[in-house]
Amino acid sequence: MDTPRFFLIRYLSPAASVLAMTLLIATTARATSTSVSIPVYLEYPLLRQLLVTQLFNTPDGTREILNDPEGCNRIVLSDPLVGAQEDNIEIIASYRAQIGVELFGSCQNLINRQGNITFLGQPLLQADAKSVKLEPRSTWITNKDGDRIVSGAIWDAAVGRLDDFFGGFVISMTPYTDPLAGFLPEILPNSDTAQLQATIDSLALSDIRVTASSLDIAINLKLETHIEEPGEIAPLTAEEMAQAEAQWQMMDALLVGAVKRYAAATELKSLRSELLDILVDSRYRLRDALTEPADRSSDAVRDWFIESWHRLNPVVREIALQQPGQVQLLWMSALTATDALYALNQLGSTIGLEISSEGLRRLARMINAEKADELLHYSEEVDPQLQQMLQDEIETAEPDLSSWQLNFSFFPRAYAAAPWEDLKQWLPAKDKLNTYVRKIEKLLETAADNAQKQHKLQGNHLSIYEKLVLATAWQESCWRQYVIINKRIEPLRSSSGDVGLMQVNEKVWRGFYDLQKLRWDINYNSIAGSEILLNYLVNYAIKRGEHKLAGGSANLARATYSAYNGGPGQVSRYRSNKVAAAHKKIDSLFWDKYRQVDAGKAGNVAQCLGADIASS
């Protein structure tokens, strides 16, 4: 059952108890009308595909515009290209022309010529308000040397036919408007039937514009907005909390499933890398959204979901243009739906925007109709495709040859748990702290060494990385994997879902790592955290040249930790003046610990475990 319509989707994490206090606001409202514009970008490769499908749909991809009954005169077009020239759509195609006369029952060739034709057409909205055609503005013909032909038999035979031929090209917008009309009821459930139908009926095209890269067309719609006034408050029920939990899990699953599908559809490593970057960063944003206090004027998780799709949009659009035929249009319809979500979300709570379970299913079907249910399946199991994406990211990173060489296999196939068996569920007494600290230090050094061996970090970068692992574990957990809760040993866990020695976040790294092992196996947790740190050091801090800025190589440790704590989008957080005070404090505390480790005082970690520094 979907979340009740009066509930502006709150998404709850079991660990985020603060959300249990979420209140529903019953409101009275004053209605008004507003217009929303949803952009559609028809890139020229897509327009070319549509042109070929409509006008060059012969087995060999050619089209005759002239072939008289006697066969003496023939003009064949092929290889069309679509682009822009000022405010017009430009179509260039190759031609082969044969012009002759019939003499004594047979054709006598007079002209055989090849070259190009150019057609300029102004895109205009048609009377049906659902399609665009090109009104002829100019046409010319050139020979194979590029010289214009402005008169003669070929000119006379071709020009009028070319205008009629390309003027018949129809750009239907129904692949965009129809899915959007079907999607609106699922995201505007508070509208009554008449209001919803009025919104759907208001869908109209406007603002046609030719740009250097695409033909841009806006889809406009009108809807009622409501100025809300607070009324009575009522607490969430347990059922509503469970529904909200399932809702954000479906959102997360859909985002992951879409990224995997799009990554599998392109051979361009740069695009797969961008997809992975957006996915991991969005997972950090989800973590943050689930811990934000509820506010009736906004919805942190809904905002996270919509913003993540907004970031994915240009990458997916580029991948879509690599797809054959009508597949491009199917992909573009999903992008238009997410663009609509983004545009509507800018209006805040005044329209009652919700993303229901059925809305997510409809969006999943737009992405991949055959595997829609699979796209919405939330699982905590290790996902080989996600692991491979991350491994590929590391393996294709360009090395800094001045300090390291690249030979990296990211995820270990096996690890030696036996030497660390005595650390399993060990919470040391005060008189055992020194022994415990030495063992944890050795554990972390071993994890770091095993990770960097494959990568062959050298010199200063190796030293920074080794200290970085020790300082991060100190900052994150005080070198603890376990705590006592209700007289039971449990994994150390934060309210946002960070777990264990390295506080690896379960929501961020779901699918990449075994969550049970992250919780209960201190060695596995140390390996995971060390690998993630190495990824951020190599692929973000070093790759982006943080060590070349003021502060030098020490910046690499600070930048890597900022990314580890806040996500890859926060790699420069440590040096920014525009960050929250809480984040600035976190980065400052880490830097203090890193400098202690750098000074050979890693054992000072015992202080936060209950020992006196002098005795460590």
* Residue 443, pLDDT score: 95
Residue at 81 is within a domain? yes
The CATH number that applies at residue 122 is: 3.15.10
* Residue 614, pLDDT score: 39
Q: Kind and range of the H or E element at 460?
A: helix 459-477
Most confident of 146-150, 311-315, 418-422: 311-315
* Residue 157, pLDDT score: 83
Q: What is the arithmetic mean of pLDDT over 491-508?
A: 95
What is the rounded CA–CA span in Å between residue 10 and residue 261? Answer: 28
* Residue 328, pLDDT score: 78
Query: Measured at the alpha carbon of residue 61, what is the angle toward residues 59 and 63, in degrees to the nearest 5?
Result: 105
* Residue 616, pLDDT score: 34
Residue 311 one-letter amino acid? R
Share of residues in the chain with pLDDT > 90 (%): 58
Has residue 503 got a pLDDT over 70?
Answer: yes
End-to-end CA distance of the chain: 57
Q: What is the arithmetic mean of pLDDT over 360-375?
A: 92
Q: Are strands 88-103 and 106-125 parallel, antiparallel or unpaired?
A: antiparallel
* Residue 14, pLDDT score: 37
* Residue 211, pLDDT score: 96
Q: What is the arithmetic mean of pLDDT over 284-297?
A: 74
Residue at 610 is within a domain? yes
* Residue 105, pLDDT score: 67
Residue at 8 is within a domain? no
Residue at 7 is within a domain? no
Same domain, residue pair 253 and 188: yes
Per-residue model confidence as pLDDT tens digits over 244-261: 888 899 999 999 999 999
Has residue 297 got a pLDDT over 70?
Answer: no
Q: Which of 337, 358, 375 is the last residue of a domain?
A: 375
Domain count, the chain: 3
Residue at 28 is within a domain? yes
Residue 355 one-letter amino acid? I
Has residue 29 got a pLDDT over 60?
Answer: no
Among the listed residues 268, 262, 325, 307, the one whose alpha carbon sits nearest the alpha carbon of residue 51: 325
* Residue 411, pLDDT score: 47
Q: Rg (Cα) of the chain, in Å, rounded?
A: 31
Same domain, residue pair 320 and 361: yes
Same domain, residue pair 35 and 89: no
Mean pLDDT (the chain, rounded) = 84
Helix 238-264 to helix 269-289 angle, to the nearest 10 degrees?
170
Same domain, residue pair 439 and 531: yes
Give yes or no for a contact between 280 and 567, defined as CB atoms under 8 angstroms apart.
yes
Same domain, residue pair 429 and 535: yes
Q: Which long-range contacts (CB under 8 A, 24 or more apart) does 260-263 make?
A: 260/383, 260/385, 260/386, 260/389, 261/367, 261/368, 261/371, 261/375, 262/312, 262/315, 262/316, 262/319, 263/385, 263/389
Residue at 120 is within a domain? yes
Q: Three-state SS for 69?
A: coil
Share of residues in the chain with pLDDT > 70 (%): 85
* Residue 393, pLDDT score: 75
Same domain, residue pair 470 and 489: yes
Per-residue model confidence as pLDDT tens digits over 428-472: 888 889 999 999 999 999 999 988 876 677 789 999 999 999 999
The CATH number that applies at residue 469 is: 1.10.530
* Residue 394, pLDDT score: 64
Residue at 5 is within a domain? no
* Residue 457, pLDDT score: 76
* Residue 236, pLDDT score: 60
Give yes or no for a contact between 372 and 366, defined as CB atoms under 8 angstroms apart.
no
Dihedral over Cα of 256, 259, 263, 268: its sign: negative
Has residue 339 got a pLDDT over 60?
Answer: yes
* Residue 490, pLDDT score: 94
Q: Which of 375, 394, 426 is the last residue of a domain?
A: 375
* Residue 323, pLDDT score: 83
Residue at 471 is within a domain? yes
Same domain, residue pair 433 and 579: yes
Same domain, residue pair 138 and 162: yes
- Higher per-residue pLDDT: 234 or 351: 351
Q: Three-state SS for 497?
A: coil
Classify residue 487 as left (phi > 0), alpha (psi -120 to 50) or beta.
left
- Which structural domain, as residue segments, surrounds residue 427? 384-615
Same domain, residue pair 507 and 392: yes
Q: How do the residues of the chain divide into helix, strand and coil, expressed in percent and rounded to 5?
A: 50, 25, 25
Per-residue model confidence as pLDDT tens digits over 179-200: 999 999 988 887 888 888 999 9
Same domain, residue pair 168 and 123: yes
- pTM for the model stands at 0.82
Place 613 in a pLDDT band, splitting at 50, 70 and 90: very low
Q: What is the arithmetic mean of pLDDT over 94-118?
A: 82
Cite the DSSP H helix spans in 147-299: 153-167, 174-187, 193-201, 238-264, 269-289
* Residue 118, pLDDT score: 95
Same domain, residue pair 541 and 404: yes
* Residue 21, pLDDT score: 33
Query: Measured at the alpha carbon of residue 469, what is the angle toward residues 464 and 475, in degrees to the nearest 5?
Result: 115
What is the DSSP code (8-state) at residue 298? B
Q: What is the arithmetic mean of pLDDT over 125-147?
A: 91
φ, ψ dihedrals at 315, nearest 5° = -70, -45
Q: What is the arithmetic mean of pLDDT over 29-51?
A: 86
* Lowest-pLDDT range of 148-157, 233-242, 271-280, 548-557: 233-242
Same domain, residue pair 141 and 234: no
What is the rounded CA–CA span in Å between residue 103 and residue 86? Answer: 47
